[in-house]
Amino acid sequence: MILGYYNTLFVISTILLLILSVRWQIRIDIDFAVFFILIPINLLGYMKMATATTVETAILANHLVYLGGCFLQLFAFLVVCNLCHIGFKPWARLLLFGWSITMYLCSMTVGYSQIFYKSVTLERRHGVSVLIKEYGPVHTLFYVTIVLYMAATLGVLIYSYFKKTEASMQNIYLLTGMMLLSVVAFFGGRAITKDVELAPAAYVLTEVAFLLISHRTRLYYITGDISANILEEGADGLVCFDMERRLLVSNKTAQKMIPGLRTAQTDHLLNETVAEFRQLGECVIRFASGDRTESPLIEIGGRSYQTRVEYIKDGKRNVGYYVVLRDVTAERKYIDGVNKYTEQLRAASDAAIAADNAKSQFLAQMSHEIRTPINAILGMNEMIMRECSEKQILDYASSIETSGHTLLYLINSILDFSKIEDGKMEIIDVDYDTVKFISGLVSSTQTRAEDKGLKLELYIDDTLPSVMHGDDVRLSQVMLNLLSNAVKYTDEGKISLTMRRNRGMGKDDDDSIWLHVEVSDTGIGIRHKDMDRLFHSFERLDESRNRNIEGTGLGMAIVYRMLDLMGSTINVKSEYGKGSTFWFDIRQGVVDDRVIGNYQERLKTENMRKKKNITLYEPDARVLVVDDNALNQKVTRNYLKLCGIVPDEAMSGAAAIELMKENTYDVVFLDHMMPEMDGIQTLEIIRRDKLAPESTVMVVLTANAIEGSREMYLAAGFDDYISKPVDLNDMVDKLEGYLKNGRGTDT
């Protein structure tokens, strides 16, 4: 029975050793492995001793027993220290090994000396051989060593329990139980019987306990490797969990970041009622659920930590999680600062955009509000000049026309400057008739010059192409500004306009020419010290002398910036008190290279065309005029009356829709800014409900003349755009095109 007891323990210990070696091939702590190897050796010695037939054989078996016995308690102590994360200096390990080797060598002297055993005999008891020994002095030291190892091991476990080291409390409880069992087996067994050793059974049970916690030990090794790698990466915190989210280990950096980790128990779930632990647990739960779209931030103690969660792997198996914590407080504060600054910039930008939109809306409204009465004034004045023959009244009407166009010029200057300042001024090149272009400049300047008794001299190159390509609107504005200033600042003498090819700028080609434009006057001139301020916005030079001269101080600034947009530069030469000359050269495309010939003859023909009676007569034309302003409606009605047309009229968009439901029109003149339903909204309903056939020309007749208005109205669905105040000849020309061609914006 006793032999069976030893055989059973031997088989169990051997199986446990095999399990250990198979399951943990990759990495086994040397102390752990040696402990498992020594137990079968120790039991093999007991088995051999139980079957020994001679004293000599029993002594040899005793050597195997002590090979295990002298080292088992040492390695059990070292394993427990390792599990409790208590290290040993190399010299201390060597000292302990040296003492155990000394004890074992002394045990080898049995049969040769009496220092270990004074005497030995072999007896048969209970069917097995028993070695009867009389202990020597060294054997007493051996017993003392065993007792000290047991006490030291228990001391380590007690220390770990009370000091809350990184050791697992579960492991401490289990190891303490096994250690107490070993003490009872060692001392109790000797008190009960000397024929059977109970210590080997305690060793096997301890082996079982070690094997049970070896899985956790494996995790500790793996997390130790991870911790080493993290430390190599930088000052990052590391917290490791098993698959049930029980704490395995945390490094010192993590414990500084999350102070609660210092007292958290290994192998226990963190108390997630604590905010910092709850945040940590949520990161792991999110990762485990498959949500890995971002690295969550956790806030602890006023600091921000970026987290990265990964699996702890044992080979291909997921055996836990590790969380890397990186302090990103500085980066977070920087980002928050940038975001706050960006938000402030965005708010400022939104405010600027809102202000710009408000400004644009204001300018559009002011353009509409001012142009609307000007349209009535100039329109009615046009009718007076056409229908009245009394010279005095015609003189009055001529003055009204001049003042009206002056006011219109001032409004346009303000709008143009605003567009340039906002970067919304666009250069739009089109084909334009050279003679008509010059005629418009002359007619706008001639009357004002004559009213001041000034002579307007024209030097027009006969070889200029008949049709050129460029932004005639902007070019006209530049030249009118120069001519207007020349008239304003000249009290006697003359104004001269020169337009010619400038072959000195480079050779002309079939597609373009260099156009030289020059405006001279015999006016007050400009002082040399004022030259630098000439093109500044809102600057009026020599204010004390020129205070009675009308103007905004924007004319030359607009000239400078418009020419810059068109790729040209203004030049000036002036002598104070004698006059000034302004000139520029600009590239213009050639569309029709036939020369204009004698401009004066062409001008007479053009003026006759303007002054001739309206020849368009279309009494059958169906025209609808929609305008909420009665005076403007009257102007348009009278213009159409000259063409034999009696239009239908509507004072609102709703009224226009009702008329179009019952009538078909060739042309519809539709005002934009009307109450309740504006022109664009009215057009949308007309298009949506198909109240007008494709042949009906929808024309917006509006006082909104700011930059981009034409494009906006065409994009909204209008076929053409006419700005107020309406020029009679232009309107008649367009109307003739509408009735002849059906629709088209280029007429």
Distance CA 559, CA 605 (A): 30
Contacts of 58 (CB under 8 A, 6+ apart): 49, 52, 120, 122, 129, 131
What is the mean pLDDT of the segment spanning 584-602? Answer: 88
Q: Mean pLDDT over all residues of the chain?
A: 82
For residue range 109-144, list pLDDT tens digits in order.
887 888 988 888 888 887 788 888 888 899 889 889
Judge contact between 413 and 554, C-beta under 8 A.
Answer: yes
Residue 584 has a pLDDT of 96
What is the mean pLDDT of the segment spanning 600-627? Answer: 75
Helices 30-50 and 199-233 cross at an angle (nearest 10°) of 170
Contacts of 184 (CB under 8 A, 6+ apart): 202
3-state SS of 109-168 is CECCECCCEEEEEEEEECCEEEEEEEECHHHHHHHHHHHHHHHHHHHHHHHHHHHCCCCE
Least confident of 53-62, 237-246, 467-476, 493-502: 237-246
Asked whether the predicted pLDDT for residue 307 surpasses 70, the reply is yes
Residue 718 has a pLDDT of 94
**Sign for the pseudo-dihedral over CA of 724, 725, 730, 732:** positive
Q: Counting Cβ atoms within 10 Å, is residue 228 exposed (0-12), middle (13-18) or buried (19+)?
A: exposed
Asked whether the predicted pLDDT for residue 148 surpasses 80, the reply is yes
Residue 20 has a pLDDT of 78
Residue 549 has a pLDDT of 47
Residue 538 has a pLDDT of 46
Judge contact between 728 and 643, C-beta under 8 A.
Answer: no
For residue range 629-641, list pLDDT tens digits in order.
888 889 899 889 9
For residue range 333-376, list pLDDT tens digits in order.
888 888 899 899 988 888 878 876 776 667 666 666 777 777 77
* Identity of the residue numbered 282: E
Least confident of 78-92, 486-500, 622-636: 78-92
For residue range 212-243, list pLDDT tens digits in order.
776 655 655 555 555 555 554 457 888 888 88
Which has the closest alpha carbon to 677: 650, 661, 699, 654?
A: 654
Going along the chain from its start, the domains and CATH numbers come out as: 2-219 (1.20.1070.10), 234-327 (3.30.450.20), 426-611 (3.30.565.10), 623-741 (3.40.50.2300)
Tokens of 407: 């006011």
Residue 644 has a pLDDT of 92
Asked whether the predicted pLDDT for residue 31 surpasses 50, the reply is yes
Distance CA 741, CA 273 (A): 83
Dmax (CA) of the chain: 164
What is the mean pLDDT of the segment spanning 291-320? Answer: 81
Q: How confident is the model at residue 652 (pLDDT cuts 50, 70, 90)?
A: very high
What is the mean pLDDT of the segment spanning 579-592? Answer: 94
Distance CA 559, CA 237 (A): 68
**b vs e for 172-198, b when ≥16 Cβ sit within 10 Å of the residue's Cβ?**
bebbbebbebbbebbeebeeeeeebbb
For residue range 546-577, list pLDDT tens digits in order.
444 454 456 688 888 889 989 999 999 999 88
For residue range 156-203, list pLDDT tens digits in order.
888 888 876 556 677 778 888 888 887 887 777 666 666 677 778 888
Length of the chain: 747
Cα–Cα distances in Å, from 559 out to 409, 414, 432, 477? 14, 13, 20, 8
Distance CA 307, CA 294 (A): 9
Distance CA 626, CA 631 (A): 12
Residue 552 has a pLDDT of 47
Residue with tokens 């290290």: 87
Residue 2 has a pLDDT of 78
Residue 610 has a pLDDT of 53
What is the mean pLDDT of the segment spanning 595-610? Answer: 71
Residue 676 has a pLDDT of 87
Higher model confidence: residue 603 or residue 723? 723
* Identity of the residue numbered 302: G
Side-chain half-sphere of 617: how many Cα atoms within 13 Å?
2
Helices 169-192 and 199-233 cross at an angle (nearest 10°) of 160
Long-range contacts of 380-383 (CB under 8 A, 24+ apart): 380/631, 380/634, 380/635, 382/639, 382/728, 383/635, 383/638
SS3 308: strand
For residue range 399-448, list pLDDT tens digits in order.
777 677 667 766 766 666 666 666 666 788 889 989 888 888 887 788 88
What is the mean pLDDT of the segment spanning 676-705? Answer: 90
| Percentage of the chain exceeding pLDDT 90 | 22
Helix and strand numbers, DSSP H then E, in the chain: 21, 19
Least confident of 366-375, 444-453, 737-746: 737-746
Residue 717 has a pLDDT of 92
Asked whether the predicted pLDDT for residue 730 surpasses 70, the reply is yes
Distance CA 337, CA 327 (A): 17
